[in-house]
A and B are shown apart, each in its own frame.
Chain A
């Protein structure tokens, strides 16, 4: 007799949809998954609209509207275990950068002061649409989460591991290691004395970006991707969010950790690294700034940093 399949419900809140595409991108592995899991409800894949009971509930995206909140609660009620899937669900993701602005400011920029928009009538959506919340809320500030899988999107191997750990009732095999663990570039001491922008020069293919003076977030970012960026000539921009130690210890931060590491590898002054990151804080903190673990840090001053950059 075959064992009954584990039922999976998926739902997306405020998202780009990429995490659901990543689920399909299990490619051949999806066959192994389907042997033990039945995708019972999924907005992209099935027509099922209700919330039938399921053992696993996979939620992508962050909470921005009342609708998102309601759906998250329904998922929690109907599913035994909830996975916060993807950086938006776990930390708020890129849309979380809206944290730095008010709803009015965003609406103004989109509808009233925009180069291709006719705003002569002053129309801003306010009828039939839900009121917009400027703030992005990570999932676990709304419902309890059983398993966190950040990544923008997470790599197939981690998705497979997460699903199988829930099916088999074991701990996930994913480790708390940084991107460096999967990066083949070699860290070495260098005489580089100035920070380089990603546009400066042609980075060497085999040497660590930090040694070359490029700010790469790999060493402060959790590996849930298998390091495709540094392996393809591009610096890590931290899309899976910071390492857990950085998140949980109030006085640790990505800019100070990176400053120390770069200063050890190069002739660059630590304060230069800190200044550079604060100058582009909105890019460097974009993925996780909506999470309480970042936004409530005593050393995190996003509004101040942005104001300094944006004032002309």
Chain B
């Protein structure tokens, strides 16, 4: 008898989800699906609004990565109107964005994945939240939370607000950088760098311990060969700007292109069981059209980083796991490397005199289409607008990171269920762990959030056989 498992709801990820697992007669996993329960319909809501308001309004798609939407949106408008912001504005935006990455990666590594790292995925239930982390490792937790705070404050200092920043305007930044702000930013960036240096060895140690305890996580069973996509500038990983590069599972370059051509390379294919639209490569590599975005993907695109510490760290990682790594769990290590890069880059920007220059050039409405993108902490984010001659949005399209990882998340769930077995006590934690590795933002992926809570339903022949949930 085939059976189905549901997990509802998933905790400690950012958004609402439910998981449905279908089993074959021999209890092997037939398929796993994360079901996203909600849709807000921003593609429709935005039509008819004033284009110039998009950077403010689209930030509200996601309170977890508002800075990514804010910047992708303003870049799309600048693309439409043919405006290039001055260098100081680019640097201000990047500084804001490094703050955002520091905040986001620190939350993901310490607050969300922290309990998995510290207690393993088979630990006793009820003790798996940030409070438990604080109790178990008070010093690490205090530093980690301070690091997050610094990132968010840096984001707020330049962006005007922490959640839903406002200062990126078409043509640049609304205000020029001043000395007072610079000295504050510098102090924050320096302190963040110091905290990173103190925290990184602990993360590596915990990850090492986890792999020792569950070696299967670092071998074939939890490896997912896929293609990868992310942003590259001058051959190096870049969060704010550059071209999109796709590499195949062997690490070979498939394409490198300007984001305005994204529809030539990737395609959304709706499914009837989830509001999220999964995204695939338009041209499969062999018969594999699966690709991934986010931290693992970005560091699979290149062996070059912009900053020296992150470069050395990347070398160390690649030496151990090769130039192209398909191990889903390595999203923890690669996130740590990016956290280092964000701290180093924030320090470097504060030392760049160009940051203090004029921050805005005039712009004018031009009818047409504009596409803009950034790397959100959890992967490539694309905004695409058609604008009329009155400056009103006529068509809006948003392609977010978690949609692009959706299919891979489902496959990783299948793998973890195979590894643990469906009757295992730790199934719920294991499935949540697999999802959490992607740091998914479900509010983004349907442009809707809701509950994070997960429920797992296991079914055979469409009939439920096990429900693991957390009750309402």
Contact = CB atoms under 8 A, between A and B. Distances in A.
Interface of A: 12-22, 24-25, 27-28, 39, 43-51, 61, 64-65, 67-68, 70-71, 74, 93-95, 97-98, 100-101, 105-107, 109-111, 114-119, 123-130, 132, 134, 152-153, 197-199, 201-202, 205, 225, 228-229, 231-234, 237, 239, 279-280, 282-283, 286, 306, 309-310
Contacts of A132: 38-39, 275
A129 B274 contact: yes
A15 B449 contact: yes
Contacts of B129: 45-48
Nearest to B66: A18
B443 A15 contact: yes
B140 interface: no
B64 A101 contact: no
A282 B384 CA distance: 19
Given A106-B41, A129-B275, A119 B453 contact: no
A197 B391 contact: yes
A109 B50 CA distance: 18
Interface in B37-56: 37-41, 43-45, 47-50, 52-53, 56
A181 to B, nearest CB: 18
A201 to B, nearest CB: 7
B268 A117 contact: yes
Contacts of B48: 100, 282, 306, 309-310
Interface residues of B, number: 93
B354 interface: no
Given A12-B451, A14-B449, A228-B161, 10 more contacts: A16-B60, A17-B62, A25-B163, A49-B469, A50-B472, A101-B45, A109-B43, A115-B384, A124-B270, A125-B275
Interface of A is mostly: loop
A98 B399 contact: no
B450 interface: yes
A233 B174 contact: yes
Interface in B440-472: 441, 443, 448-453, 469-472
B271 interface: yes
A95 B62 CA distance: 11
A114 B268 contact: yes
A10 to B, nearest CB: 12
Nearest to B15: A17
Contacts of A13: 450
B403 to A, nearest CB: 10
Contacts of B364: 199
Nearest to B399: A116
B366 to A, nearest CB: 11
**Nearest 9 Cβ contacts at the A-B interface:** A18-B63, A49-B470, A233-B174, A106-B41, A232-B160, A16-B63, A17-B63, A18-B163, A109-B44
B50 to A, nearest CB: 4
Contacts of B275: 125, 129, 132
A228 B161 CA distance: 7
Interface string B149-188: 1001100000011111011011100110000000000000
Interface of B is mostly: loop
30 contacts: A15-B443, A17-B63, A17-B449, A18-B60, A18-B64, A25-B152, A43-B451, A44-B14, A46-B129, A46-B130, A46-B131, A47-B12, A47-B126, A49-B9, A64-B40, A98-B44, A110-B277, A116-B279, A117-B277, A118-B267, A128-B20, A128-B273, A129-B35, A199-B362, A199-B363, A237-B53, A279-B390, A280-B53, A283-B53, A306-B48
Given A98-B44, A197-B365, A309-B392, A286 B57 contact: yes
Nearest to A65: B38
A228 B56 CA distance: 13
B31 interface: no
A115 B43 CA distance: 11
Nearest to A154: B163
Given A125-B271, A129-B35, A283 B57 contact: yes
A90 B71 CA distance: 27
A136 B50 CA distance: 21
A229 B453 CA distance: 34
Contact of B174 (A45, A107, A232, A239): A232
